[in-house]
Chains A and B, each alone.
Chain A
Amino acid sequence: MLPKIWRFTLALLLLTGCGDKTEVKVSDAPPPAQKDVGKPVTGDWLVIHSLSDPELLNPLTSSDASSSEVLNYVFETLLTRNPKTLELKPAVAATRPEISQDKLIYTFKIRQDVRFQDGRPVTGEDVLFSVKAIKCPFVNAPFLRVYFNSLIDAELVDPYTIRFVTKEPYFLNESVLGGITLLPRHYYDPENLLQRISVRQLAQDPAKLPAEAKKFGEQFNRNFNRSPLGSGPYKFSHWKTGREIELARDPNYWGNGKEGIDQPHLDRLKFRIVNNMDAALTLLKSGGLDYMEVLTPVQVVRGTNSERFKREFKKYEYYAPTYTYIGWNNDRPIFRDKRVRQAMTYLTDRKLIVQSVLFGLGEVVDSTIYFFRPEYDKDLKSYPFDPQKALALLHEAGWQDTDGDGVLDKVIDGKKTPLRFEIKVNSGNAVRKSVALVLVEELRKRGIDARVRELDWTIFLNDVKNHQFDAVVLGWQMQTTEPDMYQIWHSSQAANKGSNAISYKNARVDEILETYRREFDPQKRIQLYKEFQEILNDEQPYTFLYVGKRASALQRRFEGVEVFPDGLRPIDWWVPVGRQRYTSVASAQ
């Protein structure tokens, strides 16, 4: 699972697959009208659409979006984010950590009133165990563990204070450490196998670890996949494979009535698994669902605009922090020249793409940073659709149709090269394919011979990682929190299957990215990234396309609904007594 706070830091690192499961972010919807509905009360259920079964419900080893959506209600982290400002704030920790002068040591104090859902109190031992579980090399969470690489030691100062030691200063370390999911030691490690193994040991060679570590890993991977237990506001009740997952509000939740802690109101959250979007919308209309977090663009434009629908449901539209781009392989001779890349952007009718492919549900962008972030540079030049300018640039760069075959060519490295390339897209993503087709159509008219190739996702990914492409249409998730663009744009990341798949290399950019990571002053970081974005804007290593909008539909009986930068937050919702639809015996406890 990726706790919510974690997703901020991890989000960037995930190439978006189908674009369907990404998280929702900043709103452009008006704030909700404050009607006189009284104070929030408990009761009623929320039936949520889920497109697929989670793989498993293990707080560390599950990694898909479906499971983190569920587990976020069951588990808590040391720190969380203020949903409005996205600033870090304490959750299970009593305050934000104390950071040492050299920015290497982080000391967290833990609240003494936190309880797990089985009533046992949370102590520093549980926090220490949670860290050990992540660090244990036999736990099936290699991806998660990578982010804790710089954590080299952790120890208890007193029963409610824990100290973390990190390898190097990095401004996002507080966010990473604050994102540690709190696991009950007595539940996940009943034999206390990890007790005698220190975090320092776990960080070293796995071969030297005592047998207990391995035994723990095997048990943890196998036995805790369908019955999560944490300290969060909702308890896991059941999971009927392929049908539904049910969570029930914990009446004895430690955070009840505590200030600064999210107050749950709905008695049950039911995640109903419906694999087909058409069926899900029909089910919503017939009352079988209350909430669909994602509607397809077609569903937004058609199928959700009848009077009847509007009476029953409210639609929310807001930006989802994922951008789609065309990446030009900077290693390919034809794309080595930045004028060619600029020409490609001039030839991409991005407004038309948003209008015709996304039905207007998106915004053209020009940067790798999310436009609601302070780091975003508002003064960037936006390349309009301008074929004349594009052709002028290409001529300037030496591209002419010398042999009259209708395709531009140029002598590169002593070899006559036609302007001919292939755009790869992953199958199953109609939007990206349409984007490529729109562009290819335009390029043909201008004497550029491009074609689209559709590949199965795993094969496609393999080609991208190995730089086996001329151009690709892909997406990145952006961070709504402090961004770190090192892994996409640093030249070192071009080698060895790194994320810089287009092999972008610029010495000044490298320098900025490195300095930025060690800079703890937000204002200075903003300045650094301004320059960085200007360089990218000029060089056009990507043709940035758009940030899409997400649309959700929610039954109107719910109150307290607000759109936050990170999307909608069902944890805040409640239903006035007269409008409640479901009652449950369990809620009467």
Chain B
Amino acid sequence: MTSYLAQRLLLMIPTFIGITLIGFLIMRLAPGDPAELRAAGGLGAAGGAGISLEKRGAVDEAMAQWRAQYGLDKPLHVQYLVWLQNLFTLKFGDSFKDSQPVWDKIAERLSVTIKLNVWSILVVYLVAIPLGIYSATHANSLGDRITTVVAFGLFAVPLVWAATMAIVFICGGDFYYLFPPGGVESLDFSEQWPLWKKIQDHAWHLFLPVVLLSYSGFAALSRYMRSSMLEVLGQDYVQVARAKGLGEKIVVFKHALRNSLIPQVTLLADILPGLIGGSVIIETIFSIPGLGQLGFESVLARDYPTVLALFTVSAVLTLIGILLSDLLLAVVDPRIAFGRRQQ
């Protein structure tokens, strides 16, 4: 096991470098020049074209200075190596946009994104797993079909549309006022509030985003659950359990469920990067200052250090997630043994 682990960890190094190289190249070879954007006054007013000729020379000079300051005047491969070198000392540099350390910017937005994602992952699992069990135990019944149609129906609903509808109809416009139309806390939110009030306020604000982030996930997970459950239910030991007179509940939840969960462990690989992934759409529509929004804005502004930092972090988490899920698989399923030769 130890040698297997070491092997896997060593393999991660070239994989990681490959990923960063591709990410770096995609970002840097895409058209658009951050220096031009800066000189022209940000994205909103972008207009490098709006500078008269005699001033153009001065601006070009200033841009060259700016590029030199951030090392953008060096050849691309040198820039990559410098970036990689900084990375191994855990330096992500400063954002082009506001000269703040990229780490600080990420840290500032991390908590709300994690909060959002933890809850939505929980909701997805809490709804989809029982749904899958129900579908499997009632395979091909009317109930099974209805849940299937509903789950896939939800999967097909575009998030942008659903979120906009929710805002227009239940967020206090001309119709019902059940939830706030955006933000993470009330206008009069204060640090002096008692804890329960703060939690209540956050929950009220995050409810809709969490539900919206979750609904499309029901279909896939409940399908996985249904098929693995069906497979297990057809196996001999389940027949044996039934034959020795155990109740259906015990057969399903004690004997069948555990084994049918094994394939779900592999899905863990997605959860870890998913925690910080963030949804650009939900964060933008609901004005939630999370990492999805940060990533999106950074791409538009060609803020390379921030984009690359976010990219790297999620690459690392994905690699760790894959490794963990493989290891966990061995833990929950003794039939799988890494590093031991098959006798």
Contact = CB atoms under 8 A, between A and B. Distances in A.
Nearest to B186: A288
B44 A65 contact: yes
B56 A497 contact: yes
Nearest to B281: A276
Contact of A278 (B38, B49, B164): B164
Given A63-B42, A458-B302, A279 B49 contact: no
Interface in A102-161: 137-138, 140, 142-143, 145-147, 149
Interface string B66-105: 1000000000000000000000000000100111100000
Contacts of A283: 171-172, 180-182
Contacts of B47: 13-17, 461
A480 interface: no
- Among B40, B43, B182, chain A packs the most CB atoms within 10 A around the CB of B182
B171 A286 contact: yes
Interface string A463-497: 01100000000000000000000110010110111
- Among B45, B47, B99, B286, chain A packs the most CB atoms within 10 A around the CB of B45
B98 A276 contact: no
B52 A486 contact: yes
Interface stretch (B114-122, B287-295, B314-322): B287-295
Contact of B293 (A143, A225, A275): A275
B145 to A, nearest CB: 35
B45 A499 contact: no
A559 interface: no
A206 B68 CA distance: 14
Contacts of B94: 222
Contacts of B62: 137, 142-143, 145-146
A33 interface: no
Contact of A149 (B50, B55, B99, B284): B55
Contact of A276 (B39, B42, B48, B167): B167
A21 to B, nearest CB: 5
A13 B50 contact: yes
Given A143-B59, A279-B285, A462 B51 contact: no
- Among B164, B174, B181, B302, chain A packs the most CB atoms within 10 A around the CB of B181
Contact of B182 (A270, A279, A308): A279
A457 interface: yes
A285 B287 contact: no
Contacts of B180: 283, 286, 288
B53 A492 contact: yes
B289 A242 contact: yes
Interface in B24-68: 31-33, 36-53, 55-56, 58-59, 62-63, 65-66
A368 interface: no
B12 interface: no
A17 B284 contact: no
Contacts of B59: 142-143, 146
B158 to A, nearest CB: 15
A64 interface: yes
A286 B32 contact: no
B173 A281 contact: yes
Contacts of A286: 171-173, 177, 180-181
Interface in A208-266: 221-222, 225, 240-244
Interface string A369-387: 0000000000000000000
A291 to B, nearest CB: 13
A282 interface: yes
A362 interface: no
B291 to A, nearest CB: 11
B7 to A, nearest CB: 42
A498 interface: yes
A463 B94 CA distance: 30
A13 B182 contact: no
- Among A17, A143, A147, A276, chain B packs the most CB atoms within 10 A around the CB of A143
Given A13-B50, A64-B45, A279-B285, A285 B172 contact: yes
A281 B99 CA distance: 33
Interface string B100-139: 1000000011000000000000000000000000000000
B326 interface: no
Nearest to B46: A17
Interface string B192-230: 000000000000000000000000000000000000000
Contacts of A145: 58, 62
A279 B40 CA distance: 30
A147 B59 CA distance: 10
Contact of A458 (B37, B108, B164, B172): B37
A273 interface: yes
B46 A457 contact: yes
Given A275-B182, A458-B33, A490-B52, 14 more contacts: A12-B50, A13-B52, A65-B42, A143-B59, A241-B108, A243-B183, A243-B289, A283-B181, A288-B183, A306-B174, A461-B49, A487-B51, A493-B52, A499-B51
24 contacts: A14-B40, A15-B46, A52-B297, A64-B45, A65-B44, A142-B38, A146-B58, A149-B55, A222-B94, A241-B108, A243-B183, A273-B287, A274-B287, A278-B168, A279-B285, A282-B167, A283-B172, A286-B173, A288-B180, A456-B32, A465-B49, A495-B53, A496-B56, A499-B49
